[in-house]
Amino acid sequence: MSPRKLFEQELEELRQDVLQMAEWVQDGYDCLFAALEKKDGDQMRRYVRHDRTIEDMQRNIESQCLSLLTRQTPVARDLRTVSAALKVVTDLERIGNHLSDMAELFVRMDLPELSRYSPAFPDMVRETRTLIGKAARAFVERNMAMGQEAIDADDGIDDFFNRIKEDLVKELKKDGSDADGCVDALMTAKYLEKIGDHGVNIGQWEIFQETGEIDEIRLL
Amino acid sequence: MEHASIMNKKRRVSDQLLEALIYLCAFLAVGLLLGIIGYVFWRGFRTVNWSFLVTEQSPTKGIMGIAGNIVNTLYIVVLTLLAATPIGVGGAIYLNEYAKPGKFVSLVQFTIETLTGIPSIIFGLFGNVFFGKIFGYSMLTGALTLTIMVLPLIARNTQEALRTVPDSYRSGALGIGATKWYMIRTILLPSAMPGILTGVILAIGRIVGESAALLFTAGSGYYLPKGGMGLFRKLFESGGTMTIELYLQMAKGKYDVAFGIACVLLALVLLLNLLTKYLAGRLNVENRK
Amino acid sequence: MQDSKISVSSLNLFYGENHALKDINIKIRENTVMALIGPSGCGKSTFLKCLNRMNDLVDGVKVDGKVLLDGEDIYDPGVDTTLLRKKVGMVFQQPNPFPMSIYDNIAYGPRIHGIKNKSRLDEIVENALKGAAIFDEVKDRLKAPALGLSGGQQQRLCIARALAVEPEVLLMDEPTSALDPISTLKIEELMNDLKKRYTVVVVTHNMQQAARVSDETAFFLLGELVEADETMNIFGHPKDKRTEDYITGRFG
């Protein structure tokens, strides 16, 4: 039996809050692309402001972490959990940010059909979603193997990005009439690729949370 | 919610009664003591004058003086302490610092405690038979007898004092490499000095007040020692302390003289107490500058 | 290994029937601070006292195994404990200045070891007080009684007293457990300073303190040495589950 009941409880709350934030980000991702598919402009415009909530969640979790550090001076696995949570929420917040930026982009592009620019787009959207889903679950459930899967999945995302880029370059060389659209589509691909990178980070923080190492470099 | 009141509604009568009783006891104790001292001085002060203090008694010339007895008293005090202090303190150090707890130590401890409670006439009897056989009626016999008598007093007080010296002093000194004896000499004995002196004061009190143990050991001589050699010879001569003389005068029915001696005796005890208190203050390591 | 100041192998200690230290093996490197942590009664203080044979003073203690100090076994029958304790000094949990002046407290050790020369003693006293970061606070009242100092000052005085015999190893048994936070910090700062010249072994119940001051940490439990490693490793990712449970406060 642990004499640190309050501390355990607070750590559990922290875990729940990170879980909630991760779910919020993933829901946002799903809503965004659903709205794009349904060509729901109102929903999309509302989504531009979506990152405000995520930022609030981030601040709340950061404040919880700092309070835990101050009052409970965690060490060893607890210290790794708290410091990893601090880093993970930054990645989640960045993902949220990219989603909002994409929403803005889609509104400007008047809700385009991405597959028109490259057939790889639907796959990339799906795979990126899978990656961040895995990464977030790995972190919250403390599943190192799943974290590693998320990290490994990033190569696929990078491949999609390169393919889309090639397709767009081809398209531009062939016919420069929709240059704006092509550039925006390229940016969309870049956002997705960045989201994948943040997912990789989250996967890595899960591994750090268990081992104290990141990229095989000992941090703690 | 109902709050409990802390106001006292009535003080308990039994409390007040007890308090009054306790005050009464205190006044009785102090009153009795002051009464005795006052009475002794009132009865005795007329007898005490300069010549009473500085001349020796001479029944042939009809002179009454207690100079010899005063010297005898101081002499036997010094002699006894000279023997009893080192043995008592040494024994206490052994028991407290060296001896491993066990049957032997318990036995010694028990003996010391028993010795404290033995009536002094028994010491007198023993001294008379044992030391008296060798040295006759003499100051030495008396002093040796008294030594046995006050030994437990000094040993016990020293032990108590050593026990109050914190163990941290011991480990502190040993921890920087002091040997055991060096630690005892430089830390324990200075710290225990006030306690040792208390033992010595009590011992002085007992010596000065003793009559039964001395009557049949040191005898009742009242002559002053003659010169330096006389002081040495005195060791083997009979000599009565003031208490013995007091007893003898009482036995002769000379109460005025007896009260006079009592006056001087009280003054001497007071003086010795003040002196040891002063020494204790000087020796107390905590005030040492 | 050349740079291990103290090397303990197969050390067992019995208090009568009680097996208080069980097969301890550990090396303590020169010029480092090693912290010993563990719950009360785990043997860490007992182990500390083994390093300068203060356990000899306790009845019924039996020690076997080897404690090598610079390659010499301190439990060898030929060892002079006075010389051993000159080399391995000790600071206790409760500040224990002797009831004498500040100066005499510091000079106590050197005097044991035969230093009588007044100017030499003056120099030692000054250096020791400076080494324990208390010189400025007491330099005007060296003749004042040491018991008049505050608790924190008394403890630094005791450190100075230990330093005055020029030890090579300094053992500290919960040196700050009786002190206020500011005095504690001063002593922690001091430990960091001391390891430049000495090898310091400190027993502490305060894990933050162990994390702050030590280079290496050893965790004891029920007379066993569970884990000894660099402090960052012990507090970052201990290898043994028992260590982790203890330092994260999940020890039942």
Are B37 and B134 in the same domain? no
Per residue in A115-166, pLDDT (tens digit) is 999 999 999 999 999 999 999 999 999 999 999 999 999 999 999 999 999 9
Do both B178 and B135 map to the same domain?
yes
Does pLDDT of B280 surpass 80? no
Does residue A1 have a pLDDT over 80? no
Residues B157 and B40 in one domain: no
**Contact assessment for residue B151 and residue B84, using Cβ atoms and an 8 Å cutoff:** yes
What is each CA distance from B104 to A92, B107, B110, B112, B161, in whole angstroms?
Answer: 79, 5, 10, 12, 22
8 Å CB contact of B168 and C85: no
The answer to whether residue B6 sits within a structural domain is no
Crossing angle of helices C118-131/C151-163, nearest 10°?
Answer: 130
Kindly state whether residue B260 falls inside one of the protein's structural domains: yes
DSSP, collapsed to helix, strand or coil, labels residue C66 as strand
pLDDT of residue B289 exceeding 60: no
CB contact under 8 A, C98 and B286: no
Q: How many CB pairs under 8 A join B and C?
A: 77
Q: What is the pLDDT of residue C200?
A: 96
Contacts of B179 in chain C (CB under 8 A): 82, 112
User: Is the per-residue pLDDT at C221 higher than 50?
Assistant: yes
- Helix, strand or coil for residue C7? strand
Confidence of residue A52 (pLDDT cuts 50, 70, 90): confident
State the pairing for strand pair B63-66/B56-58. Answer: antiparallel
Question: CA A140, CA A19: separation in Å to the nearest integer?
Answer: 6
When divided into structural domains, chain A yields a total of 1
Tell me the percentage of chain B whose pLDDT exceeds 70.
97
Looking at the structure, tell me whether residues B40 and B67 fall in a common domain: no
B260 token code pair: 């006079």
Min Cα–Cα distance to chain A from C251, Å? 6
Check whether residue B166 and residue B238 sit in a common domain.
yes
Chain C residues with CB-CB distance to B169 below 8 A: 96, 98-99
Closest residue to A75, CB basis, from C235, C251, C252: C235
Q: Is B5 within the bounds of a domain?
A: no
Residues B72 and B19 in one domain: no
Question: Amino acid identity, residue A19?
Answer: L
Dihedral sign for Cα atoms in the order A71, A76, A81, A87: positive
**In a domain? residue B221:** yes
- Domain identity same for B38 and B144: no
What number is the average pLDDT over the span C196-205?
94
Are B157 and B139 within one domain?
yes
Supply the CATH number for residue A148's domain: 1.20.58.220
User: Per-residue pLDDT for A26 more than 90?
Assistant: yes
Q: Are B185 and B285 in contact (CB under 8 A)?
A: no
Specify the 3-state DSSP secondary structure of C186.
helix
Q: What is the pLDDT of residues A73-110, one digit of tens each?
A: 899 999 999 999 999 999 999 999 999 999 999 998 88
List CB contacts of B75: < 8 A, sequence separation 6 or more: B139, B225, B231, B234, B239
Across the interface, do A1 and C244 touch by the CB < 8 Å criterion?
Answer: no
pLDDT digits (tens, 9 = 90+) for C101-118: 999 999 999 999 899 999
> Are B37 and B154 found together in one domain?
no
CA-nearest of B104, B120, B281 to B216 is: B120
Q: What's residue A2's pLDDT?
A: 67
Kindly state whether residue B32 falls inside one of the protein's structural domains. yes
Question: pLDDT confidence of B45, banded at 50, 70, 90?
Answer: confident
Reported as a single tens digit per residue, the pLDDT across C95-154 is 999 999 999 999 999 999 899 999 999 999 999 999 998 999 999 999 999 999 999 999
Question: What is the domain extent for residue A183?
Answer: 3-218
Total number of domains in chain B: 2
Which residues of chain C neighbour A79 with C-beta distances below 8 Å? 235-236
Whole-angstrom distance, CA of residue B188 vs CA of residue B170 = 8
Identify the bridge partners of residue C29 per DSSP, sorted by sequence position. Answer: C4
pLDDT digits (tens, 9 = 90+) for B79-119: 999 999 999 999 999 999 998 888 888 998 888 888 888 89
Residue B9 has pLDDT above 70, yes or no: no
Is residue B4 situated within a structural domain?
Answer: no
Residue type, C71: G
The reported pTM is 0.80
Identify whether B38 is part of a domain: yes
Q: What ipTM does this complex have?
A: 0.87
CATH number at B245 reads: 1.10.3720.10
Secondary structure of B22-52 in HEC code, one letter for each residue: HHHHHHHHHHHHHHHHHHHHHHHCCCCCHHH
From chain B, which residues contact C within 8 Å (Cβ)?
100-101, 166, 168-169, 171-179, 182, 186-187, 190-191, 285-289
Task: Kindly state whether residues B109 and B26 are assigned to the same domain.
Answer: no
Both B89 and B19 in one domain: the answer is: no
What mean pLDDT is reported for chain A? 93
Strands, sheet with C224-230, edge to edge from the N-terminal-most edge strand: C88-91, C169-173, C199-203, C33-37, C216-221, C224-230
Structural domain that includes position B22: 11-44
Looking at residue B198, its pLDDT comes to 85
Mean pLDDT, residues B46-75 taken together: 84
- Predicted local confidence at residue B288, as pLDDT: 46
Instruction: For residues B233-245, give the mean pLDDT.
Output: 86
B19 and B140 fall within a common domain: no
